[in-house]
Structure 1
Amino acid sequence: MSNSAASAILTTTDLSEAMRAVRVLLGVADASRAEVDFEAVISSRDTLARVRRILPGLEWWALAGKEHGSSETGEDAADHLPIRVSDWGRPLDRAEPFVAALGPDSAAVRWDLESWLAVPEAGLEAISQKYAYLTLTVNSRDLYQDEPSPDHTVHVHVRDRNGDQTARAHWLADRVGGRFTGRVETAPL
């Protein structure tokens, strides 16, 4: 198992601005075989119903721990709120409906990219799929929904052979009108 460095490059209270930034970043990556992963903390029956329409097979477990209820037991998730949910390897077209379904609940949506493309004019080499990710945290400042907040943060995961992830983070931030502040979280892959 390896880790990724997730650099925060844009934080905004405007969810549509965050999604616009994600679309721009997908445009400067090779997303030809990209997939999307989802993690969230769901607190209400309404949100759970909306999310299940988009991701009907998601896994869940009680926030208090699996021993208090989980999808493994066949119980009704709505009886165990708040819950954590996850779903992996979904098509890109699931991301925006999922984000729209969340309401005030927090989540992390991660796009597993084929690569970050080379940018010769900026001196940036291509970064392989192993280190090319993009995460949007919704109603949370961190990747794990431990810091609920009224805003949303776009994180880029970058690492190259030369170890110059900072230059790539700055370049990507410039594309979306953001700013790399140096805030980086470690994300297990």
Structure 2
Amino acid sequence: MANSYAQPVLRTADISEALRIVERLLAIADLTDLEVDFDTRISSPRSLSQLLALLPNAAWWAVGDRDGASDTGNDPSACLPVWLRSWAERPETVRPFLEAVGDSPATARWDFNAWPEAPEIGLGAGGTRGAFVTLCVHARDLDLQDPAADHTVFIHAKQVEAERIPWLATQVDLQVIGDLVMAPY
């Protein structure tokens, strides 16, 4: 699978505002095959317990040089902090996921069929492998390495269609607010 490229279009302390922007972006996309992927770095036993109840098939592994992972039969609470990842989840799990992560850095990435045509910039519909929206909570980057008190919304596109991102931002009355970066997955 090829990586997408992404740019931030909103940074806010209001998670509800961030989710509204995500919803507005999704409203203009072809949502065929819509699913959501989650990533988070968890240190809290309570958050870990809630997340594993919500996402029972999530993969996890110990952060740093410690051993422990979901495929080895270890107890995840004995391995904290852990990185937890879940793919192809239902969109309805986003809000419970965000509640469970608490103040931990996390991403929710909506994956769908295509972006709309952008005739003003000479682009047809933008297909898979580049049609994503990511909400980073308590982080300013897609890799969750830059902790923050606020939340950032990123729009993704194929690198060869990077001009689609500012165009999409204007469709929801925003503009890009940072550099184009390669997404981690």
**TM-score, normalising length: structure 2:** 0.91
For the residues of structure 2 that align with 1:59 and 1:46, how far apart are their CA atoms? 17
Q: Which residue of 2 aligns with 1:185?
A: 181
Residue 50 of structure 2 aligns with which residue?
Answer: 50
C-alpha distance in structure 1 between counterparts of 2:41 and 2:58, whole Å: 12
Aligned 8 A contact 1:2 1:188 in 2: no
Task: Give the corresponding residue for 2:3.
Answer: 3
* CA 1:175–1:49: 2 relative to 1, 3 Å: farther
**Distance in 1 between the 2:129 and 2:106 partners?**
23
Q: Residue 101 in 1 paired to residue 100 in 2?
A: yes
User: Structure 1 residues 33-42 or 89-98, which shifts more?
Assistant: 89-98
Q: Tell me the amino acid that sits aligned with residue 135 of structure 1.
A: T
* 1:86-130 Cα deviation digits (max 9, x unpaired): 011112111222112211001111111100011446654210112
Match of 2:183, SS state, is strand
Matched, 1:112 2:125: no
Partner AA of 1:154 in structure 2: V
Secondary structure, aligned partner of 1:40: strand
Given that 1:140 and 1:150 are in contact with CA atoms closer than 8 Å, whether structure 2 keeps it comes out as yes
| Aligned position for 1:135 | 134
Q: Provide the alpha-carbon RMSD of the alignment.
A: 1.8
**What residue number does 1:91 align with?**
90
Instruction: Give the letter for the 1:105 counterpart.
Output: S
CA contact (8 A) 1:113 1:134 kept: no
- Which amino acid is 2:37 matched to? D
Amino acid at match of 2:166: H
Report the equivalent of 2:21: 21
Gaps of 5+ in 2: none
Matched letter for residue 51 of structure 2: V
CA contact (8 A) 2:36 2:89 kept: yes
Matches of 1:4 and 1:17 in 2, distance apart? 24
Q: Distance in 2 between matches of 1:44 and 1:131?
A: 33
Residues of 2 paired with 1:106 and 1:75: CA distance? 23
| 8 Å Cα contact 1:40/1:106 also seen in 2 | yes
Specify every segment of 5 or more residues in structure 1 that has no aligned partner in the other structure, as ranges: none
**CA distance, structure 2, for counterparts of residue 62 and residue 177 of structure 1:** 40
**Aligned residues of 2:62 and 2:81 also touching (Cα < 8 A):** yes
Deviation at 1:164, TM superposition (A): 4.4
CA–CA separation in structure 2 for the residues paired with 1:184 and 1:138: 19
Q: Distance in 1 between matches of 2:88 and 2:181?
A: 22
SS of residue paired to 1:130:
coil
Q: How far, CA to CA, are the matches of 2:99 and 2:27 in structure 1? A: 21
| Counterpart-to-counterpart distance in 2, 1:63 and 1:177 | 39
Call closer, same or farther: CA 1:45–1:177 in 2, change over 3 Å: farther
Tell me, what secondary structure is at the counterpart of 2:20? helix
TM-score if structure 1 supplies the norm length? 0.89
Q: Distance in 2 between matches of 1:73 and 1:38?
A: 21
